[in-house]
Amino acid sequence: MRGFGSSKSLIVIAVIIFGFLILYSILPRGESSKNLPIGSVISMAERGEILRIDVNGNNLSIVTKNNETFTSRKESGVSLYEMLSVRGVEAGKDVEISVVQSGNLLSSLLSLFPLIFLLYFMFVLMQRSSRGQGADWVGGLGRSKAKRFPAEEVPSVKFEDVAGAEEPKQELAEIVEFLKSPERFQSMGAKIPKGVLLIGPPGTGKTLISRAVAGEAGVPFFSTSGSEFVEMFVGVGAARVRDLFFRAKANAPAIVFIDEIDAVGRHRGSGLGGGHDEREQTLNQMLTEMDGFNSFTNVIVIAATNRPDILDPALLRPGRFDRRVIMPLPDLKGREQILQVHAKGKPISPSVDLRIIARRTHGFSGADLANVMNEAAILAARKSKTLIEAEDFGEAVDRVIAGPAMKSRKTSEKEREITAYHEAGHAVVAHNMDGADPVHKITIIPRGIAGGYTQQIPEEDRSYWSMKQLKITLAVLMAGQIAERLVFNDVTTGSSNDLERATNIARDMVIKYGMSSLGPISFGGGQDVVFLGKEFANGPSYSEAVAEKIDNEINLIIRQAEFEARTILEKYRKKLEYLAKKVLAVEILEGEELQQVLSSDM
């Protein structure tokens, strides 16, 4: 069955159900009782044990004086009255005998008339929905699940509540102005974008800024998710799209917000085995609805995604999502502003410097920063403090980066020593390489799945990485395993994450960034495979001979980073030993104390 909208499928189902019901009503149905031979029944009647016998043709239903029920069957043409009278049993006096009439087809049909009417009613409703005469399927299946916030109940979120996204706010301010006074734009012949696509990593505030647009404009706000359109029945999603846009146009001016639009807007016909009928029909309906907007329909569609690369090209063409607004991870200033927003209403100690916390949270999204502020408040409350102090924020940052501290985990002294030398190796190499980010903290307290970690804080945010910076990063990553080899003449599995990150960086340097002897060439790799089977259909963009060269270049880059790390650690072996013993003693080393150890002459 392809869907509720298929009339042929509905007819077949109705006929099957109707046939089973008729058979069920016609076929004889008896109780699950013990079957006795007719001779035993006559003997029981002769002994006076039978109370009543119901006769239905040749089938007999016997009820004894002990309220037991039996079934039996007599031969055709033989009268039950004669069989009993021969044994001296008088019917009606000694045994009550009643004749049951079998139901006919007409009476069965009459008894099924209400069910037939109900099936016909459901069939008519489904047919109307399949012809597009209404989106309200049986039970509201085709009704949109979008939450509607009337203008007076729009979330009280304004642009001032969205920090660290100044450029996106400027882009979306035009949307607000159009919704408030469209005549000013129309008088100049300008057409406002019908759709705005918010693109950015998870947690950067795409949903929040959409709510702020609705709050600033003061118009009805319809909020839904792309996954709410997709169902197992073909046509349901399309019906929900029609219903959503019908409701939005009826309440214009309005904003329709679709979160995670990639759930329904993926590229059609991609991957192994073709496409997905329900999702593609839903996408087709959405394309039709957006293209059907006229210049005077004050309905703005705002969608959010963190995977723009998998969206269908028809969804991104001018006339649908005309404007793309990038929501990047916040920079240092933006992170400080976000922390200030989330700090409102919280009892924070005057000694806490939010700028220092912003420096420590390089690469954090707005959601991560909100989590840091919340974790710090929880930690302070757990310790029954009246103010949230700097140490609470430090622990909160560590929890977000690596998870909660596993102080109860039983770790042998040998493992603690290996972890101390491993982390000290990272720190020594990072400190002694020109251009490396400063080392801020070393800890050997297990967190999450990590036995310890070394934290580096960049002096300033960067948008680009140079080849020199990437090579420095590789050397620092390889330093942990090199330190283990130098001290213990062995390696452990603790370097698995370092090796994985180093290999990925080296591969990207070769096949994406052109930072190898193969030249400034992109080999089309380094991207996640989104659709199953796509890599089989397209294949690699290079030959097997080039693939071998790529592998050799990756290995060469890793070996060079390994050589640089080994050279530094052999040169500063005494400092490595001293730092590892110091970390073993205190477990956490950070700030000025750490810098004094790293800067000491040894």
For residues 158 and 212, give the distance between their C-alpha atoms in angstroms, rounded to a whole number: 5
Q: Is 404 annotated as a binding residue?
A: no
**Residue for token digits 């929501």?**
327
What is the C-alpha radius of gyration for the chain, rounded to an integer number of angstroms? 38
Buried b (16+ CB within 10 A) or exposed e, 294-325: eeeebbbbbbbbeebeebbebbeeeebbebeb
> In terms of Cα–Cα distance, which of 311, 328, 199, 325 is closest to 266?
311
> In terms of Cα–Cα distance, which of 44, 37, 39 is closest to 65?
44
Q: Is 461 annotated as a binding residue?
A: no
Cis peptide before 446 (omega within 30 of 0): no
Q: Is 203 annotated as a binding residue?
A: yes
> In terms of Cα–Cα distance, which of 438, 395, 402, 423 is closest to 484?
423
Q: Is 205 annotated as a binding residue?
A: yes
Report residue 471 CA to chain centroid gap.
35
Q: Is 423 a catalytic residue?
A: yes
For residues 194 and 253, give the distance between their C-alpha atoms in angstroms, rounded to a whole number: 12
Q: Which residues contact 85 (CB under 8 A, 6 or more apart)?
A: 91
User: CA dist 83 to 36, 74, 91, 460, 515, Å?
Assistant: 16, 10, 10, 109, 107
Residue by residue, what is the 3-state secondary structure of 318-338? CCCEEEEEECCCCCHHHHHHH
Phi, psi for residue 236 in degrees, rounded to 5: -65, -45
Q: Is 520 annotated as a binding residue?
A: no
Beta strand pairing call for 195-199 and 321-326: parallel
Question: In what side-by-side order are the strands of the sheet with 34-35?
Answer: 34-35, 69-73, 59-64, 50-56, 96-99
DSSP 449: T
Beta strand pairing call for 439-443 and 588-590: antiparallel
CB atoms within 10 A of CB 190: 12
Q: Own/partner pairs for 276-281, CB < 8 Å, 24+ apart? A: 277/2, 277/234, 278/230, 278/231, 278/232, 278/233, 278/234, 278/235, 278/236, 278/237, 279/230, 279/237, 281/234, 281/235, 281/237, 281/238
Q: Is 525 annotated as a binding residue?
A: no
> In terms of Cα–Cα distance, which of 146, 171, 174, 172 is closest to 157?
172
Angle at 397 between CA 396 and CA 402, to 5 degrees: 100
Question: 260: number of CA atoms within 13 Å, CB side?
Answer: 10
Helix and strand totals (H; E) in the chain: 22, 14
Q: Is 168 annotated as a binding residue?
A: no
For residues 250 and 262, give the distance between their C-alpha atoms in angstroms, rounded to a whole number: 26
Q: Is 207 annotated as a binding residue?
A: yes
For residues 223 and 308, give the distance between their C-alpha atoms in angstroms, rounded to a whole number: 20
> In terms of Cα–Cα distance, which of 36, 39, 48, 41 is closest to 90?
48
Asked if 96 and 112 touch (Cβ cutoff 8 Å), the reply is: no
Q: Is 200 annotated as a binding residue?
A: yes
Among 280, 289, 423, 562, which one carries the catalytic annotation? 423
Residues annotated as binding site? 200-207, 422, 426, 498
Residues annotated as binding site for Zn(2+)? 422, 426, 498
Active site residues: 423
Residues annotated as binding site for ATP? 200-207
